[in-house]
A = this chain, B = another copy of it.
């Protein structure tokens, strides 16, 4: 660490203008008590000297902060990247800056990061907790009544606001779509067994099947990592073990991409004699052949709503902790048999 020439402080400006630092502060903030002419003069000189107010010092004095923290397990995940992008944009408009940090699903790192952000005196925190996070891990935040909202992964913290996707409804919509086209036997492939998201989607699937007096066979449920490769592996297994089954709900669109590959290799035709539904509606899902039918979870909307909720708490608008689930939407395209308008190949 090297000492570098600092920018000018209000002291330097005060000297240049021949006023006290107090007067300069008042002039710059416009908090009355200084004539318009003085204000303008001070501002002009400050600009000329390249003055940038040290927010950090102001914060120390006033106790107010325009910094927000975001903790997620992986920013490069497109779902979180979109969520974060809209969160940041919303907060920026409201005058707040955003610090982000990746936990990589490491709970120790998560705890360290929470403290590190508190140490930066952030006004509030948005946290997508790592797997198996308990609400005890938020004890430090509660103790100093630092506002925080939990997003995406619920941890049953009754004292915290939660904003996330409605996985149960999402699962229901996917299954319902299949059922509506006459398919009642299908697999659920990919995703980490026992994760909240996975369990929620499966529950929705079960509900939809239950409504028509059916259920999903245990051997049709094949969890794997929620990736391309996971999808390919899981789909291969599903094909081998269940030759009569000709449809699968994939844990997400990546998994669906893998399923396409596996089906191609097996000589099956997606949208013709095999049906696939995904979750997330990634931008490229519409470009697959055939275009992927999927459930949109609206991560950007989650980001904006989380931002609005957090900002309310930061500003001290008191209210009971709330849960807000963004309504998912089925995007019907052509990967479900019977929905392909025409086939040219």
Contacts and interface: CB of A to CB of B under 8 A. Distances in A.
Nearest to A263: B289
Interface string A132-159: 0000000010011110000000000000
Nearest to A231: B287
B81 A121 contact: no
A144 B50 contact: yes
A105 interface: no
Given A76-B81, A116-B97, A289-B260, A56 B50 contact: no
Given A119-B54, A228-B284, A60 B60 contact: yes
A144 B97 contact: no
B140 A50 contact: yes
Interface string A100-121: 1110100000000001111111
B145 A1 contact: no
A88 interface: yes
Nearest to A262: B287
A194 interface: no
Contact of A54 (B6, B89, B121): B121
Interface in A241-260: 253-254, 257-258, 260
Contacts of A143: 7, 50
Nearest to A75: B85
B100 A101 contact: no
Contact of A282 (B284, B289, B345): B284
A101 B75 CA distance: 13
* Interface SS of chain A: mixed
Given A98-B100, A284-B228, A121 B56 contact: yes
Interface string A261-289: 10010010100000000000011101111
A6 B101 contact: no
A26 interface: no
Given A75-B84, A101-B97, A288 B288 contact: yes
A82 interface: yes
Nearest to A58: B119
A282 to B, nearest CB: 7
A97 B81 contact: no
A75 B81 contact: yes
A16 interface: no
B92 A82 contact: no
Nearest to A314: B1
A52 interface: yes
A182 interface: no
A193 interface: no
Given A56-B119, A228-B286, 11 more contacts: A5-B144, A50-B140, A54-B119, A55-B121, A56-B59, A67-B120, A76-B81, A88-B101, A92-B101, A253-B284, A260-B289
Q: What are the nearest 6 A-B pairs in CB distance?
A: A2-B316, A257-B287, A76-B85, A81-B81, A55-B119, A7-B144
12 contacts: A4-B146, A7-B143, A75-B84, A77-B81, A97-B116, A97-B117, A98-B99, A100-B100, A227-B283, A258-B287, A284-B284, A288-B288
